């Protein structure tokens, strides 16, 4: 599959709403073109069919979730500023 330009990828979010509303089977590539503003020929240039558009949307969502979860896990597992300061302070006991 070809690399999808960011401008087109961002516009495909409207296709997710279409698929959710009508279902993948009842949605046509013409419908996707209408809701996204991306010409049908351009969609076919980047995607063999609507199933691949859905796969792209799911993949993009999973990548975004992974980034957010990784950041959240890093915040959760890293020591607090107070704990980091305490670990650097000399002990006088």
DSSP state of 2: P
Please enumerate in sequence order all residues whose Cβ is within 8 A of that of 49, keeping only pairs 6 or more positions apart, or say none: 29
Mean pLDDT, to the nearest integer, of 54-74?
87
Mean pLDDT, to the nearest integer, of 3-20?
94
pTM flag (> 0.85): no
How far, in Å, are 10, 59, 86 from residue 56 at the CA level?
11, 5, 47
At 28 the pLDDT is 97
Give residue-wise pLDDT tens across range 31-51. 999 999 999 999 999 999 999
- Given a contact cutoff of 8 angstroms between Cβ atoms, the answer to whether 38 and 8 are in contact is yes
């Amino acid at each position: 599959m070809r690399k999808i330009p960011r401008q087109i990828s961002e516009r495909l979010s409207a296709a997710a709403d279409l698929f959710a509303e009508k279902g993948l089977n009842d949605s046509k590539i013409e419908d996707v073109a209408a809701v996204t503003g991306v010409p049908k020929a351009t969609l076919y240039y980047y995607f063999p069919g609507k199933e691949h558009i859905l796969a792209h949307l799911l993949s993009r969502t999973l990548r975004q979730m992974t980034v957010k979860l990784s950041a959240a896990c890093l915040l959760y597992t890293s020591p607090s500023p107070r704990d980091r300061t305490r670990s650097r302070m000399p002990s006088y006991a």
